[in-house]
Amino acid sequence: MLTAGVIDILENLGRDEPTVTGTLRRDDGDASRLLASLAAVHVRGIAVDWASVLPAGEKVALPTYAFQRRRYWPEPVPRTHRQRKTLDTSDWRYRITWTALPEPASTELFGTWLLVVPPGFGAIAESCTQALMQQGAEVRVLEARNQDDRVALAARLTQAVEEPIAGVLSLLALDETPMAGFGSVPQGLAGTMILAQALGDAEIPVPLWVLTTEAVSTDGGAVTNPRQAETWAFARVIGLEHPDRWGGLIDLPAQWDAATATRLTASLNSVVVEGGEDQVAIRVEGVFGRRLVRTTGSGKTDEQWTPSGTVLVTGGTGGVGGHVSRWLTERGAPRIVLSSRSGPRASGAVAMAAELAEKGSEASVLAADVGDRVQTAAMLDWIAASGPAVSSVMHAAGAGLAGPVDGMVPAELEGSLNAKALGAMHLDELTQDLDAFVVFSSGAAAWGSGQLSGYAAANGALDVLVENRRARGEAGTSVAWGLWGGGGMGEGLAGDVLQRMGMREMDPRVAVGALAEVLDADEGVLAIGDIDWDRFAPVFTAQRPSPLLALIDEAQRALGTTEEEAASGSALAERLAGMDRVGQDEYLTELVRTEAATVLGHSSAEDVPPDRPFKDLGFDSLTAVDLRTRLNAATGLKLPATLVFDYPTPVVLADFIRSRAVDEKSDYAMALAELKKLEAVLSRASWNTDERSDLTSRLEALGGKVRGGTQPADIDRELESATDDEMFDLVEAELRDVDFD
Ligand SMILES: NC(=O)c1ccc[n+]([C@@H]2O[C@H](COP(=O)([O-])OP(=O)(O)OC[C@H]3O[C@@H](n4cnc5c(N)ncnc54)[C@H](OP(=O)(O)O)[C@@H]3O)[C@@H](O)[C@H]2O)c1
């Protein structure tokens, strides 16, 4: 009884397919029921300490569909041969760049726009209002109140939006002051989160555009307003989770010039659903679009970065921290201090310190919360007092709190920012003259990851902090990592999901090797990840196109160049045109079953019954996108990402594809289909005289059109040859549609 109720509640709270299991059921409450409940959460990725429940035994791989004793697990790519023969990770390396965009053709703006303004930002609000009104838009201003929670704001939005609006423009991100009660959270970040939530609650499905000023650097220089960069990274995830009501991000220059206003309105015009720009920076030099590009780095150097003094590894008791520490000893680090909140109590921490000492580095493990400035200062003081002071920092402390934007609260934002962002700021402020300051950022900030908005914001803070350190001439390296193997937060369900999205697990030794190259070459801010673009690009753009990937060839190839698709599209239509309806249905159902079997790792289409719901076959949102991508390639059609959910069985889906493929090919086929229907209606109904003559004249008029749009001369000829009755009918028919009032 309880479990069903709890599931309902969680699903109403927006939790997708929650796992709820009970250990005590009627007539089923013994040990095996308990084991079955533990197994139920285990297969959903929850770590169960089986050793404390079961007698010793060995782990065995279990197939998900336990019949016919056929192995169903997709074959993991064996590490060994995937392990790079050489340590060349050049195709794992990316960086963010800003591409100059053409000056906007039209700057006009239509409709009414709601401008949401934080208290105390009247001047820029006025500039925005003038800019929009000059281009033809109507502007309604709503001043936000910092104490407003989502309920209060939703009520005010509903009031402010009686008439339909074209879009929402938010200036909330400009407010970098700390949020009351959550000192590490900028008010603007929390305000943007609450606005996105309140717009959803108030059901205002229009594009939300988030404005910042100088929160990004388009030329590699310093970033003037680093705390606004957190909102950039956070808001990118709003776009991934709510593509239907997301506009984009626009960074304004501190000083407006004549062009700024028109460039702003032109950017708001960008039709994101059609691949329009959704991450824009307006500068005096022009308008720039954010792009991910491959980077070969500044080339191998003979110099090797060698640690001296003491290397502080925050998060040193974690997965990545451990791999990096082992590498530091190999690079001859004299002293390594591992720190985390649990410090020596962390599992494996003491053993790790012993291993490092064995390899020649003096090692200590300290407990300190780097999100706490006092504790961080005390830790640095202890290190300086007990040996060489800190000469380099590896800031790996962090927590990946996952969950949808719609379910987030300020405390979770603070939880995400605490270790990573605040920790980095404390270390930045409390250390000097370091020879390396390395922060472990994430792809969640570089390209964005659904369900990781707070985490993305924290990583966004890291990237910008390093940009500013380097602009000040201080050491700084920020690597936005893809997925690490070898333990850490990428383990378990999170890692599984990322891998299935196309984020391949990196062998930690190879990843550490990539980090070494970055340090040897003294590179600044980049991203390193082993990305399978054939999988990742379709998933990443499933909900809507993203110009961010426009310069990644593999991504563009994976998203399918239209010529190829058009070619295969017409090939399919040609093929179907040669079949009768039954043949078409059979052919397409077989195609869908075969592709579905491949995605699920089955050896043949036989394992995919034609009328079995995809959901029961084991499809989830990720494999659903896989199937859609394969069917796009096979049919040349652009099929919706929600295909598997809208057309739930192979047969139903095949019928949908047929309707698209045949219609796709020619208006002729469509017209034929409609005529067939009309014929059926005409043949079964009976008409009175008026109806008959009306229909006749319309059909004749239609016939005339089909005959190639009867030329005036032809009409004259026709009129000349028309009988009196026909003339009266014609005139009557034409007059019937004219309303004289
Ligand atoms: N693993 C990946 O695939 C991956 C990918 C991209 C980025 N990264 C980044 O790499 C870093 C390391 O990740 P990981 O996989 O090694 O994660 P992990 O195993 O969970 O380790 C995180 C470490 O941070 C420490 N920590 C958390 N909050 C802290 C705080 N307030 N003060 C001090 N220490 C704190 C944790 O120890 P306590 O809980 O005891 O404090 C733990 O030692 C993280 O910043 C992560 O975001 C990892």
In the predicted structure, residue 71 carries a pLDDT above the cut 60: no
Which one-letter DSSP state was computed for residue 217? -
Q: Does 632 reside within a domain?
A: yes
371 lines ligand 1 (CB under 6 A): yes
The domain that holds 659 is classified in CATH as: 1.10.1200.10
How far is 734 from 93, CA to CA, in rounded Å? 68
Query: What is the tens place of the pLDDT at every residue in 382-440?
Result: 999 999 999 999 999 999 888 999 999 999 999 999 999 999 999 999 999 999 999 99
Evaluate: CB of 494 within 6 angstroms of ligand 1: no
pTM over 0.75: no
C-alpha of residue 357 to centroid of ligand 1, in Å: 22
Residue 711 has pLDDT above 60, yes or no: no
Question: Which of 304-313, 628-637, 701-710 is predicted with the least confidence, judged by mean pLDDT?
Answer: 701-710
Determine the Cα–Cα distance for residues 442 and 614; give it in Å rounded to an integer: 33
Ligand 1 binding pocket includes 418 (Cβ within 6 Å): yes
Same domain, 573 and 440: no
- Our answer on whether the CB atom of 484 is closer than 6 Å to any ligand 1 atom is yes
Average pLDDT over residues 96-122: 89
Distance 404 CA to ligand 1 centre (A): 21
Nearest-atom index, ligand 1, CA of 346: 40
The closest of 526, 511, 160, 474 to 326, measured between CA atoms, is 511
Q: How far apart are CA 180 and CA 72, in angstroms?
A: 52
Residue 91 covered by a domain: no
Q: Is 253 in the pocket of ligand 1 (CB under 6 A)?
A: no
Tally of domains in the chain: 5
Determine the structural domain holding residue 33 and report its residue range: 3-79
Instruction: Note whether 442 and 485 are same-domain residues.
Output: yes
Check residue 539 and give its pLDDT: 81
Cβ neighbors of 598 (< 8 A, separation 6 or more) are 630
Pairwise CA distance, residues 63 & 331, whole Å: 44
541 part of a folded domain: no
Residue whose Cα lies nearest atom 20 of ligand 1: it is: 489
User: Which residue lies with its CA nearest to atom 25 of ligand 1?
Assistant: 315
CATH of the domain at 101: 3.40.50.11460
| pLDDT over 60 (residue 627) | yes
Q: Are 598 and 634 found together in one domain?
A: yes
- pLDDT above 70 coverage of the chain, percent: 85
- When pLDDT is cut at 50, 70 and 90, the band that residue 682 belongs to is confident
* Cα–ligand 1 centroid distance for 325 (angstroms): 14
Q: Sign of the CA dihedral 96, 100, 106, 107?
A: positive
Max Cα–Cα distance, the chain, nearest Å? 114
Do 284 and 377 fall within a single domain?
Answer: no
Q: Which of 337, 338, 341, 466 to mutate to test the pocket of ligand 1 (most atoms within 8 A of CB)?
A: 341
- When pLDDT is cut at 50, 70 and 90, the band that residue 86 belongs to is very low
Q: Distance between the two ends of the chain, CA-based, in angstroms? A: 66
Q: Is the CB of 486 under 6 A from ligand 1?
A: no
pLDDT band of 672, cuts 50, 70, 90? low
Three-class secondary structure of residue 431 per DSSP: coil
What is the 3-state composition of the chain as percent helix, strand, coil, each rounded to the nearest 5? 50, 15, 35
Residues 186 and 163 in one domain: yes
Around 221, how many Cα atoms within 13 Å sit in the side-chain half-sphere?
A: 5
pLDDT in tens, 224-278: 999 999 999 999 999 999 988 999 999 999 888 889 999 999 898 775 555 689 9
Q: Which of 440, 504, 515 to mutate to test the pocket of ligand 1 (most atoms within 8 A of CB)?
A: 440
Of 196-210, 447-461, 550-564, 647-661, give the lowest mean pLDDT range. Answer: 550-564
User: Within a domain: residue 533?
Assistant: no
Classified as helix, coil or strand, 579 is coil
Ligand 1 mean position to 631 CA, how many Å?
39
**Cα 26-30-34 angle, rounded to 5 deg:** 95
Q: Is the CB of 483 under 6 A from ligand 1?
A: yes
Cβ 359 vs Cβ 330: under 8 Å: yes
Q: Hey, whose CA ends up nearest to atom 7 of ligand 1? A: 442
| 516, two tokens | 């070494």
Q: Best mutation site among 447, 489, 499 for ligand 1, i.e. most ligand atoms within 8 A of its Cβ? A: 489
For the Cβ of 489 lying below 6 angstroms from any atom of ligand 1, the answer is yes
Regarding the beta carbon of 468 and ligand 1, being less than 6 Å apart is answered no
**Ligand 1 mean position to 317 CA, how many Å?**
8
- 512 and 621 in a single domain? The answer is no
Tokens of 647: 């057309």
- pLDDT classification of 302: cutoffs 50, 70, 90: low
Model confidence at 693, in pLDDT bands (50, 70, 90)? confident
Does residue 467 share a domain with residue 378?
yes
**CB of residue 343 inside a 6 A radius of ligand 1:** no
Residue 474 lies in a domain: yes
Report, as an integer, the average pLDDT of 709-728: 56
> So what's the pLDDT on residue 276?
80
The reply to whether 539 falls in a domain is no
User: Does residue 199 form part of some domain?
Assistant: yes
Identify whether residues 316 and 287 lie together within a single domain.
no
